[in-house]
Every structure is written in C-alpha cells, then in structure tokens.
C-alpha cells in the first residue's frame, strides 16, 4: 500500500480510538502488522492531531479559562488543577522516559494491558452504581489524573484517556461527562508537549530529519484531527446516558485477538 494511503488509514484509526477507552496503541499495533512501522514522532504527532480535535470541541471552555482566570476564583481553581495534573505528568513522564521505564509496544504487553483494563472498567462501573453523582473536581482528582497519564505511557495498551477518566471517577468525580472533560482538557498540554519534545529530537538529528516522511505526517495529523473531532462529539453524547461497560467487552476481545495473533 502507498505510504500516503497508509498515513491516512493510521490517521483514521488514531482519531477514532484516541478518546475512546480502548487504546489507540492496540489498534495501531494491529494496523502496523500489515503496514509500515512508523517513527515515534509520527505516532505521537497523530495523537496530537486528535488532541487538536479536543481543543476545537472545548474551544469556548478553553477561551474562558484563558481570559477569565484572573477575575473568577472558580475558574482560577480549575485552571490550577489542570496545571497541577499536567505538571505531574510532565515531570514524572520525562523522568520515566530518561530512565527508560516503559514496556515495549509489542503484542503481549499491549494485549494484557487491554484485558486487565477491561476488567478494571467492570469493577469501576460496579462501584459507580453505588455512588452519588459528584461533579466537583478536587485536588485528589488532579493528582490522580496526572499520575494516570504517566502509567498509561509506561504501560502501552492502557489507553491514556481511559486511565485519566477512570482515575477521575475513582477519586471523587463520579459524573462521567465531567470526568471525561477534565481528562481530555488535561490531555491537551500533555500531548502538545510530548509532540514538541519528539519534534525537537527529530529536528536536531540530521539523519532522523531526512528520513521522516513529513508529507505523510502532516496528512495523518489532519485526518486524525478531523476524525477525532467526530469521535469526541459522539463519545460525550454517549456517556451522558450510558456506561463504559461495552468498551470493557471490546477491550477484552481485542486483547484476546492480539494474543492470538502474537501467539
């Protein structure tokens, strides 16, 4: 398959799966069994494309945070918690990367992360049924979301969005839609920073700079953003009235498929 067509397909897969709690890594791993292996910059950049979609979805919310934080104590408090969650992710994530603390993005670790994550969803959903709906974002939620994003980076297949959303739910933010919103907004600076880091690494490496298929990267970025926008809008409507349980079944099935392929 032509490289550009592969890039478009990978952009579609990333846009569809980045925000659903089903692991974009797992799906890209399946796709790359038949497609060419891509660079770390490419894989992170298409995630950044999906994050651009979140920026568009929450553009009014983000504008409010940017322009009213100095006048509104509640907005300032929320912004502080977003910054805290991002700060934890940035510091611990960079430390983990420097130390090489991460499982390989190979079939078995990703498959088991998918399966274990599926059972975690079942457990959290069973627990949520006994909890009142709480929409207040506490500091515990901010710290939990920050740490959860690092865990997702260390264990490919966990799903960054799933880890962040369920961390928020477990630490007191039992409103699913509100938990998803906070997790997605925290993901914006996280993924932009990760893309910037990888871009700098590539640009300062003459060999990597020449080898990187920039056209494919830009096209995949744009496709991921467009598809991701539709996926986020759908997910927010879905979780307003439904649980995450169907995604748990899907994760377990996908993990089993990966183990079968890998075996």
Residues 13-63 pLDDT 10s: 999 998 899 988 778 877 877 777 788 788 888 888 888 999 999 999 999
User: Long-range contacts of range 59-64, CB-CB < 8 Å, 24 or more positions apart?
Assistant: 61/181, 61/185, 62/185, 62/188
Please indicate whether residue 262 or residue 190 has the higher confidence score (pLDDT).
190
Residues 68-81 pLDDT 10s: 998 999 999 999 99
pLDDT over 90 (residue 114): yes
Residues 206-234 pLDDT 10s: 887 888 888 888 999 999 999 999 999 99
Residues 129-144 pLDDT 10s: 999 999 999 999 999 9
Domain, as residue range, for 75: 3-262
What is the rounded distance in angstroms from the CA atom of residue 241 to the CA atom of residue 250?
Answer: 19
- Residue 112: half-sphere exposure toward Cβ, Cα within 13 Å: 8
In the prediction, which pLDDT does 211 show? 83
**In the predicted model, what is the mean pLDDT of the chain?**
89
Per the listing, tokens 């909890």 go with: 131
Burial of 161 (0-12, 13-18, 19+ CB in 10 A): buried
pLDDT over 70 (residue 263): no
What is the rounded distance in angstroms from the CA atom of residue 55 to the CA atom of residue 20?
Answer: 16
User: Long-range contacts of range 199-203, CB-CB < 8 Å, 24 or more positions apart?
Assistant: 199/41, 199/45, 201/41, 202/39, 202/41
pTM of the model: 0.89
High-pLDDT (> 70) share of the chain, %: 99
What is the rounded distance in angstroms from the CA atom of residue 214 to the CA atom of residue 103?
Answer: 27
In the prediction, which pLDDT does 78 show? 94
Task: Compute and round to an integer the Cα radius of gyration of the chain.
Answer: 18
Q: How many domains does the chain have?
A: 1
Nearest Cα residue to 116 out of 262, 263, 258: 258
In the prediction, which pLDDT does 60 show? 93
Residues 142-164 pLDDT 10s: 999 999 999 998 888 899 899 99
């Amino acid at each position: 398959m032509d490289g550009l067509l592969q890039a478009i397909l990978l952009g579609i897969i990333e846009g569809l799966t980045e925000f659903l709690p089903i692991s974009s890594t797992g799906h890209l791993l399946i796709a790359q069994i038949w497609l060419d292996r891509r660079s770390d910059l490419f894989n992170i950049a298409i995630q950044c494309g999906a994050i651009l979609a979140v920026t568009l979805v929450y553009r009014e919310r983000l504008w409010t945070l940017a322009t009213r934080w100095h006048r509104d104590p509640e907005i300032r408090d929320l912004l502080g918690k977003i910054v805290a969650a991002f700060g934890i992710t940035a510091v611990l994530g960079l430390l983990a990367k420097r130390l090489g603390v991460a499982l390989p993005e190979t079939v078995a670790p990703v498959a088991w992360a998918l399966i274990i994550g599926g059972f975690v969803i079942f457990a959290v959903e069973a627990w949520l049924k006994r909890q009142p709906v709480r929409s207040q974002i506490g500091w515990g939620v901010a710290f939990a979301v920050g740490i959860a994003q690092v865990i997702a980076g260390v264990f490919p297949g966990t799903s960054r969005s799933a880890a962040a959303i369920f961390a928020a739910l477990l630490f007191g933010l039992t409103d699913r839609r509100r938990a998803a919103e906070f997790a997605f907004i925290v993901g914006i600076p996280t993924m932009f920073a990760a893309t910037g880091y990888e871009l700098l690494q590539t640009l300062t490496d003459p060999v990597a700079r020449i080898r990187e298929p920039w056209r494919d990267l830009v096209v995949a970025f744009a496709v991921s953003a467009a598809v991701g926008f539709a996926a986020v809008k759908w997910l927010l409507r879905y979780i307003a009235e439904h649980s995450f349980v169907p995604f748990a079944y899907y994760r377990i099935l996908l993990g089993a498929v990966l183990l079968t392929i890998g075996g």
